[in-house]
Amino acid sequence: MKKKTLFDKIWDAHVVESIPNGPDILYIDKHLIHEVTSPQAFNELKEREIPVFRPEQIVATADHNTPTENQHLPVKDLLSRKQLKELSQNCEENNITLYGLGHPYNGIVHVMAPELGITQPGMTIVCGDSHTSTHGAFGTIAFGIGTSQVSQVFASQCLLVEKPKKLRVNVNGKLKKGVLPKDVILYIISKLGTNSGTGYFCEYAGNVFEEMSMEGRMTVCNMSIEMGARGGLIAPDETTFEYVKGREFAPKGLEFENQLEYWKTLKSDEGAEFDKEYTFEAEDIEPMITYGTNPGMGIKLTGSIPTEGNKSDAKALAYMDFKPGETLLEKPINYIFIGSCTNSRIEDFRVAASYIKGKQKAENVNALIVPGSRQVAAQIKEEGLDKVFEEAGFKLRQPGCSACLAMNDDKIPEGEYCVSTSNRNFEGRQGQGSRTILASPLTAAATAVAGKITDFTKSLN
Amino acid sequence: MEKFITLIDTAVPLDSENVDTDQIIPARFLKATDKAGFGENLFRDWRFKKDGSKNEDFILNDPKYKGSILVAGNNFGCGSSREHAAWAIKAYGFKAVVSSYFADIFKGNALNNGVLPVQVSPEFLEKLFTAINLNPAQEIQIDLEKQQIEIKGTDLKENFDIDPYKKTCLINGYDDIDFLVSKLDSIKKFEEKNVSKKHPEAQM
Ligand code: SF4
């Protein structure tokens, strides 16, 4: 029998039909939607008078375009309000479950679905959002799609897609103190570049990922798209099963046991072939920051900006107002953002709070601390982390995408630097003229306390 | 969808690499609930200065360059999955984008909207930039049937790849929804069969 990768196993189990010389018809188990990329898809269907085929396999949330303060009040921005209203109407008309603003299950789509047990191993999941790759942490084929594809899934619960090639990234060894999953993925992208994964689905393997929590694995898989890959995935194991078990929409009782049998088969066969493979040593990884305008432009926190670059690199440095050869240590920073589907889960706040505890926020720093979901927000309270933040001078916001893409009021002003736990440092991503430095929640917390970029690793015990 | 067969036109050279979808259409323009009006905001923050005046240095504002072909640097369309990027490019009037590399999702989105992504070798891309910069009135021919791009009046040409299924769709103006809806019976059969997938012991 041909040896299969984890990716092959899931993909092949979902192919309805292969079109000769063409794409596969891939069956989609779960379709997640949000307010920004769905309205035109609903319209398309309406115009063609096609019904939504499997509404019970769709889950909706409002996250991209929502305020992070006063969520109980009507949304001030009229266009945003209209977009949210359209989502509610479309969901209602089509019998789709919506966890809208204010619902206890509301949150960023890639945070709420896993924590509700909607995301399960072996599934195919799509969403009109590129960071759908996050769900791959469960051993799931999950990828972002465009709005035309959203309408295709509405119409048929399937997609026409060519099977991507397979890439494997191995990281083995022991991570240094202060190195978080975010640093691991920023390191990988800085080594491989932003288009190394184009056309591929990436499996992450090695003891570093095996020992990672689900939250950490989600952070890693989330950023697969930043190296160009459609998605990333990690073989499900005890950590995964333990996480899924007992969650709201996870299978229960005998059904869980049956599923578990199947989930346990979901790993790459020994000797299965990958089209490309890279291996890194955990010991080489240090806390990372980015200095440019794409996520591949990363260096270690204590490193300096490379002196060799092309025209595009020079343009990026000009935008960031950095110089080749410069170190970012001691750079004053006025904004930090802890949030986004990359780093807004409970663990991210635990690690930030544990650093902040007993310290004070620097005067010059404006901090946006935004949980990924209502459930995360509730857990922060339960664990008393909100007190830690408050005592240090930080205020917690309400959940949403927030300053990750600055569609709402949470914007970084022109010319200002923001050390951000989000996933993209593109020009203007956090507001027109804003300058984003991507980092882990620990680095962001340390920056907030110091008021500048600082080598916090020295103070870790 | 409009049919795409052969395109002969002048081109706009956007010599930047890693043009991401946040530049193509910034997030603040994603609040719309229909597909209209995105052309005005294509490359908004590069085309216009903060005070709303035109940025004369940006290539789209250079009256020398016109046409429905956008020639761009490596790794075009990376970043978010927003199809708004493809809508903006189409609404502005581009029918084809040429680059040495396209991000996956953008490529699919473009194809789904009848905008042809033409992937050429880095060497050919250089030749295109040189030819257009030398002569902004230089015509480029893109022949989808032959899968060939040519700098008119020269012997410089190159073949490009396209998924045969997508090619048929573009040439005929079909789209994927029509096709998938025609397959609903097999999809239902697949669903029935796969109830058992959840219970692997039943298959053994
Ligand atoms: S947090 Fe950012 S990256 Fe994640 S879904 Fe929201 S906008 Fe997209």
Q: Which residues of B touch A265 (CB under 8 A)?
A: 200
Q: Which of A337, A346, A336 shows the shortest CA–CA distance to A401?
A: A337
Q: Mind telling me how many Å the CA of B5 is from chain A's nearest CA? A: 19
Q: Mind telling me how many Å the CA of A308 is from chain B's nearest CA? A: 16
Please give the sequence-ordered ranges of beta strands (E in DSSP) within A209-352, or none if there are none.
231-233, 276-281, 288-290, 298-300, 335-338
pTM over 0.95: no
Q: Which of A227, A234, A149 shows the shortest CA–CA distance to A195?
A: A227
Q: Largest alpha-carbon pair distance within chain A?
A: 64
Q: Largest alpha-carbon pair distance within chain B?
A: 69
Specify the 3-state DSSP secondary structure of B193.
Answer: helix
Put simply, the answer to whether B191 touches A27 (Cβ < 8 Å) is yes
The reply to whether A134 touches chain B by the CB within 8 Å rule is no
Taking the centre of ligand 1 as the mean of its atom positions, its distance from the CA of residue A225, in whole angstroms, is 12
The burial of A303, by beta-carbon neighbours within 10 Å (0-12 exposed, 13-18 middle, 19 or more buried), is given as middle
Q: In this predicted structure, what is the pLDDT of residue A298?
A: 97
Put simply, the answer to whether A198 touches B103 (Cβ < 8 Å) is yes
Which stretches of A20-140 are DSSP H helices? 39-48, 78-93, 109-115
Beta pairing, strands B148-151 & B140-143: antiparallel
Q: Which residues of A touch B73 (CB under 8 A)?
A: 312
Q: What is the pLDDT along chain B (204 residues), one digit of tens a residue?
A: 778 889 999 999 999 999 999 999 998 888 888 888 899 999 999 999 988 999 999 999 999 999 999 999 999 999 888 899 999 999 999 999 999 999 988 999 999 999 999 999 999 999 999 999 999 999 999 999 999 999 999 999 999 999 888 898 899 888 889 899 999 999 999 999 986 454 443 333
Q: What are the backbone angles phi and psi of residue B170, rounded to the nearest 5°?
A: -65, -45
Taking the centre of ligand 1 as the mean of its atom positions, its distance from the CA of residue A433, in whole angstroms, is 19
pLDDT under 50: residue ranges of chain A = none
Percent of all residues in chain B with a pLDDT value above 70, rounded to a whole number: 95
- Tell me which chain B residue has its CA closest to the CA of residue A148: B112
Taking the centre of ligand 1 as the mean of its atom positions, its distance from the CA of residue A339, in whole angstroms, is 9
3-state helix, strand, coil in chain B (%, to 5): 40, 20, 40
Q: Which residues of A touch B27 (CB under 8 A)?
A: 405-407, 429
Q: In this predicted structure, what is the pLDDT of residue B199?
A: 41
In this structure, which residue's CA is closest to atom 2 in ligand 1? A404
Choose one of A37, A66, A106, A108 to mutate for the ligand 1 pocket test, by most ligand atoms within 8 angstroms of C-beta: A108
The one-letter amino acid code at A233 reads: L
Put simply, the answer to whether A27 touches B78 (Cβ < 8 Å) is no
Q: Which of A449, A131, A422, A438 shows the shortest CA–CA distance to A287?
A: A438
Taking the centre of ligand 1 as the mean of its atom positions, its distance from the CA of residue A129, in whole angstroms, is 8
Place of tokens 């075009």: B76
How many cross-chain Cβ pairs, A to B, lie less than 8 Å apart? 192
In this structure, which residue's CA is closest to atom 6 in ligand 1? A401
Residues A294 and B20: beta-carbon distance below 8 Å: yes
Specify the 3-state DSSP secondary structure of A202.
Answer: strand
3-state secondary structure B64-113: CCCCCEEEECCCECECCCCCHHHHHHHHHCCCEEEECCECHHHHHHHHHC
Q: Mind telling me how many Å the CA of A377 is from chain B's nearest CA? A: 25
Q: In this predicted structure, what is the pLDDT of residue A310?
A: 86
In DSSP terms, which residues pair with A30 in a beta bridge? A125
Taking the centre of ligand 1 as the mean of its atom positions, its distance from the CA of residue A64, in whole angstroms, is 7
Virtual torsion, Cα A128, A133, A136, A138, nearest 10 deg = -70
Specify the 3-state DSSP secondary structure of A122.
Answer: coil
Sheet holding A335-338, edge to edge: A366-369, A335-338, A417-420, A435-438
The number of the ligand 1 atom at minimal distance from the alpha carbon of A424 is: 3
Measured distance CA(A216)–CA(A226) in Å, rounded? 16
- What's the complex ipTM? 0.90
Q: Mind telling me how many Å the CA of B77 is from chain A's nearest CA? A: 10
The number of the ligand 1 atom at minimal distance from the alpha carbon of A402 is: 1
Measured distance CA(B106)–CA(A147) in Å, rounded? 11
Query: Residue A100 half-sphere exposure, CB side, CA atoms within 13 Å?
Result: 18
- Tell me which chain A residue has its CA closest to the CA of residue B79: A226
Put simply, the answer to whether A27 touches B177 (Cβ < 8 Å) is no
The reply to whether A329 touches chain B by the CB within 8 Å rule is no
Q: In this predicted structure, what is the pLDDT of residue B105?
A: 87
The reply to whether A53 touches chain B by the CB within 8 Å rule is yes
Q: Which of B96, B91, B67 shows the shortest CA–CA distance to B162?
A: B96
- Chain B contact probe: residue of A28, A312, A404 with most B CBs at under 10 A: A312
Q: Which of A32, A150, A224, A134 shows the shortest CA–CA distance to B83?
A: A150
Q: Mind telling me how many Å the CA of A209 is from chain B's nearest CA? A: 25
Q: Which residues have any ligand 1 atom within 6 Å of their CB? A: A 63-64, 108, 110, 129, 131, 340-341, 401, 404-405, 422-423
Taking the centre of ligand 1 as the mean of its atom positions, its distance from the CA of residue A221, in whole angstroms, is 13
Measured distance CA(A356)–CA(B23) in Å, rounded? 35
Q: In this predicted structure, what is the pLDDT of residue A449?
A: 98
Residues A340 and A404: beta-carbon distance below 8 Å: yes
Please tell me what DSSP assigns to residue A164: P
The reply to whether A360 touches chain B by the CB within 8 Å rule is no
Q: In this predicted structure, what is the pLDDT of residue B81?
A: 84
- Facing residue for A194 by CB, picked from B16, B18, B199: B18
Choose one of A33, A34, A131, A408 to mutate for the ligand 1 pocket test, by most ligand atoms within 8 angstroms of C-beta: A131
3-state secondary structure A345-401: CHHHHHHHHHHHCCCCCCCCCEEEECCCEHHHHHHHHHCCHHHHHHHCCCCECCCCC
Put simply, the answer to whether B198 touches A83 (Cβ < 8 Å) is no
Q: What is the DSSP string of B144-158?
A: TTTTEEEETTSS-EE
pLDDT (tens digit per residue) in A306-337: 998 888 899 999 999 999 999 999 999 999 99
Q: Mind telling me how many Å the CA of B153 is from chain A's nearest CA? A: 30
- Chain A contact probe: residue of B29, B41, B83 with most A CBs at under 10 A: B83
In DSSP terms, which residues pair with A419 in a beta bridge? A336, A437
Put simply, the answer to whether A312 touches B199 (Cβ < 8 Å) is no
